[in-house]
Every structure is written in structure tokens, then in C-alpha cells.
């Protein structure tokens, strides 16, 4: 009788500790770990971004550093919202006006700085700047914050500078 009582208490004790261990073990997986921003391989390899890169912020020559994480965020937005018309930096509605560096510099006003590209995203204009264009979607700040819009612009500029084949006019 004594042995049976001892075994029953021991089993309950063991089962309790196993249950506690199981709950603690699984609760670890329920705790969210800090998000680690993934960097797109394209950004590392083709845009050659290992360390933050300076990109021209405005016409006065000021620059700002953009990290691989910033450019990855810009690339993601571009892929989700711009790539249908601007695949590989081309412009499908008007193939004569790609997103190459020379085309961005030749636009009126020039769109070869972060601030000018963000201005274009906010209010798209034709290449000669004479009127609004309806081929490109307007991106208000309620949809994309200033820093997010700058990341998109940085992705476009860095792609125009470094990405092989970016902004071709031939398909």
C-alpha cells in the first residue's frame, strides 16, 4: 500500500514537472523575436550595397546615406506598385522614357535626386514637365511616408547608377 501511494505521488509530481516544462518550452516560441530586416540579394549584388551609400539628395549637392535595408524596402515597394509599368527600369507606357540615369537627368525638371524623384512620386508630370501624367500613379504621404518615399527614390537612383541593363529602351 505504501509503495502504491509513493508511486502515485511520484507520478503526479513527475507529470506536473513535465507539464510545466512543456508549457515553458512552448511559450518560448510564442514570444516574438526581434525582427531582423532581411536585405535583398539583388541590392547587395547588383546595386553593390554592403555599407551605406551616399545618394544625391537635392540640386545643391547634399547627399544622404542609404543602407542596404533602406534600398531593400524601396525595392519591395517598387516591385509591389511600380514594376508593372517600369520592369527593369523601362517605361512600358512610353518606352522612349526609361528610368536610366541619363533620362532622369534629362527630364524637366531633372529627376536625378532623391527630392526630385519624391516630388515626382507625389505629383507625376510628363517628361517635359508641361502637364500631369496619368500613366503614373500619384503616391500621397497618407500612403507612403516621406522616408519610405525616399527609400523608393533611392532604389531607383541606385539602380540607374549600378544595375546592369536598368533603364533599357529595347525589350
- In this predicted model, which residue has the larger pLDDT, 27 or 42? 42
Percent of the chain with pLDDT over 70: 78
| 26 and 63, same domain (yes or no) | no
Q: Are residues 25 and 60 in the same domain?
A: no
Domain that holds residue 122: 41-162
Q: What is the pLDDT of residues 73-123, one digit of tens each?
A: 999 999 999 999 999 999 998 899 999 999 999 999 999 999 999 999 999
100, 90 contact by CB (below 8 A): no
Residue 167 placed within a domain: no
For residues 107 and 91, membership in a common domain is answered with yes
Q: Are residues 66 and 99 in the same domain?
A: yes
Question: How many domains is the chain built from?
Answer: 2
For a pLDDT cut of 90, what percent of the chain falls above it?
Answer: 70
Q: What share of the chain is helix, strand, coil (3-state, %, to 5)?
A: 50, 5, 45
- State the pLDDT at residue 36: 47
SS3 letters for 31-72? Answer: CCCCCCCCCCHHHHHCCCCCCCEEEECCCCCCEEEECHHHHH
| Residue 169 located in a structural domain | no
pLDDT (0 to 100) of residue 37: 60
Amino acid at each position: 500500500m505504501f509503495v502504491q501511494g509513493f508511486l502515485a505521488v511520484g507520478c503526479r509530481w513527475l507529470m506536473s514537472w513535465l507539464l510545466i516544462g512543456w508549457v515553458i518550452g512552448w511559450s518560448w516560441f510564442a514570444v516574438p523575436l526581434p525582427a531582423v530586416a532581411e536585405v535583398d540579394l539583388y541590392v547587395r549584388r547588383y546595386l553593390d550595397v554592403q555599407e551605406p551609400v551616399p545618394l544625391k539628395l537635392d540640386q545643391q549637392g547634399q547627399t544622404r546615406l542609404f543602407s542596404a535595408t533602406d534600398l531593400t524596402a524601396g525595392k519591395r515597394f517598387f516591385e509591389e506598385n511600380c514594376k508593372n509599368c517600369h520592369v527593369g527600369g523601362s517605361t512600358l507606357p512610353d518606352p522612349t522614357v526609361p528610368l536610366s540615369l541619363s533620362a532622369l537627368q534629362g527630364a524637366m525638371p531633372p529627376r536625378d535626386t532623391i527630392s526630385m524623384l519624391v516630388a515626382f512620386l507625389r505629383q507625376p508630370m510628363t517628361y517635359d514637365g508641361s502637364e500631369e501624367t496619368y500613366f503614373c500613379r500619384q503616391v500621397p504621404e497618407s500612403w507612403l511616408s516621406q522616408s519610405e518615399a525616399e527609400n523608393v527614390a533611392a532604389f531607383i537612383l541606385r539602380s540607374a547608377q549600378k544595375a546592369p541593363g536598368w533603364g533599357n529602351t529595347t525589350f
